[in-house]
Amino acid sequence: MAVSTGMKRRTFFAAGLGLLAAPVVLRAAPAAASGEKAKMNTIVLPEVNQFNLGSFKIVAIRDGSNLAEKPFETFGTNQDPEAVKKLLGDNFLPTEKFVNSYAPALIDTGSEVILIDTGFGAAGRERGLGKLQDGLKAVGYSADDITIVALTHMHGDHIGGLMENGTPAFKNARYVAGQVEYDFWSDKAREGTPAEGGHKTVLANVVPLAEKTTFIKEGDSIVSGITAVMAQGHTPGHMVFHAEADGKRMVFTGDTANHYILSLQKPEWEVRFDMDKAQAAASRKKVFDMIATDKVAFMGYHMPFPAVGFVEKYETGYRFVPKTYQFDL
Ligand SMILES: [Zn+2]
């Protein structure tokens, strides 16, 4: 008995080591190699995660991530900062800093290769962002393989990658974007307002592609099985996309909720980047109530990578349950 147990343990241990040694993506970042202490979790890029949703192949690609200060100045801005810090601390998170992550998604339906949001593109590269195209290559796709680019909304971290050096980054693609969102950001009336920066980004990145863009509204489909639902507030025309393949469902929630604790547990807390704060809170509740009730998966652009998980109702909000192997079996 003892021998047999020992053998089993050794075999198990060896298998475990093999598993640990196999993923070459986990190695020291250049900063660590040069003797400098790594400042953040050092998973070497490109970071990608692929899985199947029925007959659809989904690839989560991390465009990058960055460190940000004072989470209470972004999330829960209508709350006592101490309450925000307490919620972070209660959930094993630092209270003075946070990491923001950016995750565009690829959906390969078998007949179309759809990209949902584009990351920062060249505008983010000096800051270590804009890695979408490297991520695509890592899983055997190139920018030229993308047939449709769909946009949840038109903030720079979602549309920056549409153009490279003034030319379309995805030269074989057509585009799908919300009519309300486009009308807001492309309007000259944004000049001289806080939205002027966003207006200029849209003039540079989206307006040149307008002739190849299908402008959609609530309930319209991108392709069969992928449908847009308005979830406004973060921006005036923000949308989420429902995907369904072979009875499996997933909602691409864009920026409906942007912190897996602060915005999901406290959906009513105001967020600095939500343009209409009350409407954004209402959209969070609408979208995540449905996701919780229907027990469907979601992918949130700023959720912890691979940005995919589930929620259950918890107190007055939701508890985030990250995906593990649900899609592998
Ligand atoms: Zn965003």
Cα of 302 to ligand 1 centre, how many Å?
7
Q: What is the pLDDT of residue 37?
A: 59
Cα of 17 to ligand 1 centre, how many Å?
38
280 and 133 in a common domain: yes
Q: What is the arithmetic mean of pLDDT over 111-127?
A: 96
222 and 311 in a common domain: yes
Between 24 and 327, whose confidence is greater? 327
Q: What is the arithmetic mean of pLDDT over 256-280?
A: 98
Residues in the chain: 329
Question: pLDDT digit string (tens) for 183-209?
Answer: 999 999 999 999 999 999 999 999 999
> What six digits make up the tokens of 329?
């079996």
55 and 40 in a common domain: no
Cα of 54 to ligand 1 centre, how many Å?
27
Cα of 55 to ligand 1 centre, how many Å?
28
Asked whether residue 327 is assigned to any structural domain, the reply reads: no
Cα of 258 to ligand 1 centre, how many Å?
8
269 and 151 in a common domain: yes
131 and 87 in a common domain: yes
Cα of 96 to ligand 1 centre, how many Å?
21
204 and 314 in a common domain: yes
Cα of 201 to ligand 1 centre, how many Å?
14
Question: pLDDT digit string (tens) for 78-88?
Answer: 999 999 999 99
314 and 192 in a common domain: yes
Cα of 25 to ligand 1 centre, how many Å?
25
Judge whether residue 329 has pLDDT over 90.
no
162 and 34 in a common domain: no
- Which residue range is the domain that position 30 belongs to? 1-44
Cα of 116 to ligand 1 centre, how many Å?
12
147 and 117 in a common domain: yes
